[in-house]
Amino acid sequence: MALVTVLSASGRPGLAQVRQLIKAGYEVRGTTRNPERLSQFDDIEVVSADYNDPDSVYEACLGADSVFYTRPSFEESHKALDFAATVGSAAKRANVRRLIYNTCCWGPPEELGDVGQAGYDSVKLMINTLKQAGVQTTTFQPVLFMDNLLTDWAREDIMNNNLYTYPHNPNLEASWICLDDVAKFMIAAIDRDDLIGRNINIGGPEVFTPPRVADLLSGHFGKPIKYEELSLVDFSNRLYDIFFADIDEDMRGGRSENRDAFIESMSDFYKFNNVSEHKPFKVDMAPVLKEIPIELTPFSEWISQQDWNEKVDTKAG
């Protein structure tokens, strides 16, 4: 089987990509700044790479048939365009045949143009930046991850307070998808020439409102778990404290890690999700699955497969 380089392989999306590539029989090279995070996998090549060092990314891509790239998370989101340019250029220099990009969020369809939300409107810019290098690229835009429930911003309330807390309107419909299913879509695109250049929004097999998610959690744990809508400011503060509390003030400067700017940005993002006519968390998966027949994981099945006592390294990358 061909060699696939998974960039940021020790992050949550990357770990799922490695798992699924191994199951599919591919040779895997994973990049990380923390090799111990990949020690659970046998027979994969582990290399060090840093997006701030273009030569290291080029070396990681060299010899690979395909490269999986995932949009950076909160800590380095201010460098997203630079990183996309670095990955595209490195993949081109290394003669990579196919580049598969995971945006980690919904992207507005081409016919919509800009939708007035900065985070979503930047998705097209990042995709175009990545494609400018000229590598054949397929982009998947997953709308909301089941795996978010295992993170520091959700799991503690579920386990300790019998609460599912999120900044979602109780009536908000969402097509939750697990990271392993996102990885399956990415693998399916490796040899699909008809998907070159495509930007595809994806979600899970079911659409749930937040109270229904709480019901599913209640059924799994055998006790009542209640949904509580967090205010946009409270949730944004929670994220900030998780991702940036250990960064010295003098290192933050005017970047997005500034608490006020971060809270404003995240509040705008979730407010848009709650009220937008575009319904960015809801995906009609029937036409997607007709074109790419992936077997998606039901939410209740995913919940039962997790080790809820295991501490997830939310910030790993």
**Nearest of 15, 32, 29 to residue 65 by alpha carbon:** 29
Instruction: DSSP for 186-228, please give it.
Output: HHHTTT-GGGTT-EEEE--S--B-HHHHHHHHHHHHTS--EEE
3-state helix, strand, coil in the chain (%, to 5): 45, 15, 40
In the chain, which residues have pLDDT < 50? 248-256, 316-317
In the prediction, which pLDDT does 246 show?
61
The structural domains of the chain, ordered by start, are 3-146+178-204+280-297 (3.40.50.720)
In the prediction, which pLDDT does 243 show?
83
- Three-state DSSP state, 84: helix
CA distance 262 to 254: 11
* Cβ-based neighbour number of residue 222 at 10 Å: 6
Per-residue model confidence as pLDDT tens digits over 238-279: 999 988 866 544 444 444 458 899 899 999 999 999 999 999
Unique residue bearing structure tokens 């010295």: 248
- Three-state DSSP state, 72: coil
Does the global pTM surpass 0.85?
yes
